[in-house]
Structure 1
Amino acid sequence: MADTSSPVSGLAERYATALFELAEDEKGLAELEADVGRFATMHDQSDDLQSFIRSPVYSAEEQMRALEGVLNHAEIKGIVANFLRVVAANRRLFAVPDILTAFRKLVAAHRGETSAEVTSAEPLSEAHAAALKDALKQSLGKDVTLDTKVDPSLIGGLIVKVGSRMIDSSLRTKLSSLKLAMKEVG
């Protein structure tokens, strides 16, 4: 699963496990997964939301008010909304991205799938995501769930992590390698 050397990853796994167990009890895993996906997409596409979640300067009350606005905008209700409120009340909003990633890994494992973290310079189109899923399925021999993130600093290409394996075909990495090779030549 996650790197257990980080205190955030252990925290994220505990929270994700709690959310997953709530989903199993309610038999609403698909609905929960959709709500988690909506919140994750909003997070990935909003620099303001990312900054807000990471910032320790906001009071618990301010975090709760802002979170309510985000949940209402995304039309997230029920278990996921209540879960995020508990996370905010416990002053753990900074761990939400890791919690959502850990939750998606648990869901994938439950379905017999493997999870791949994919970081791209721009959001993947549905066609590109489907093609990547097919390629990974052929390579790994099992269905793959994609956990996508956007990082414009990659310039182009992808970084794909499956378990302990990572494939970095980003333009940023290729340019860094070229820069290093040029220094060695000169």
Structure 2
Amino acid sequence: MSDNVTQARPYARAAFELARENDSLDAWSAMLAEAARLTADERVHRLIHDPRRAARDKGNTLVELLGELVPERGANFLMVLARQQRLDALAAMSELFEAEREAHEQRISVEIISAYPLDQAQQDKLAQALEKRLNREITITTSVDETLLGGVVIRAGDTVIDGSARGRLNRLASLLNH
């Protein structure tokens, strides 16, 4: 996937700039997300890797499958991807596009992993604290990992805050071993 990310980055930025200039971030988000989902489908995957099919046919097929989801200039974008043999990087492009969009809109997605399920009051309290700390609007997803023993691990972009009991024990063990 890291190779796909490297290949996808300039295209994701270009898509974001096109969407921003045309005030169509929602439409481009939807198109890229659905294109990523489609290219993960085994049948579509085979189609975009079929050496017998011309790049134009691959691009046109994807545009047809996406139908109404293709915004202005979206078809041209997909055709460029097909010509450059980058259709298989659409999943990475979609993720990078969303990261650009979140930064532009001063939003961030935060994943909270806890040892036990969090109730709504706990989630709200964490969201308020994170909004203050990160100075952004927060979107939270939660999951449970019983191996944490207690506490939470928070992932916000490149930032990881490990407040779990397991993390504290690992840090203590590391200190004792040095």
Above 0.5 in TM-score? yes
- Runs of 4+ in structure 1 deviating by more than 6 angstroms, as ranges, are none
Question: TM-score normalized by structure 1?
Answer: 0.55
The RMSD of aligned alpha carbons is 3.8
The gaps in structure 2 that reach 5 residues or longer are 113-120, 146-153, 163-178
Q: Name the CA distance, whole Å, in 1 between partners of 2:91 and 2:36.
A: 8
Q: Name the CA distance, whole Å, in 2 between partners of 1:162 and 1:83.
A: 30
Report the number of matched residues.
Answer: 136
Question: TM-score normalized by structure 2?
Answer: 0.57
After TM superposition, list the pairs within 5 Å mapping 1:1-186 onto structure 2. Answer: 6-26=2-22, 28=23, 31-41=24-34, 43-44=36-37, 50-51=41-42, 52-53=44-45, 56-57=49-50, 59=53, 60-72=55-67, 74-116=68-110, 137-138=127-128, 140-141=130-131, 142-144=136-138, 162-164=156-158, 165=160
Give a deviation string over 1:78-115, Cα, whole Å, max 9, x none. Answer: 13332222212211000001101101110110111113
Contact 2:8–2:92 (CA under 8 A) maintained in structure 1 = yes
**1:138 Cα deviation from its structure 2 partner:** 3.0
Same amino acid, percent of matched pairs: 28
Contact 1:53–1:93 (CA under 8 A) maintained in structure 2 = no
Contact 1:63–1:88 (CA under 8 A) maintained in structure 2 = yes
The gaps in structure 1 that reach 5 residues or longer are 119-130, 149-156, 168-186
* Higher radius of gyration, 1 or 2: 2
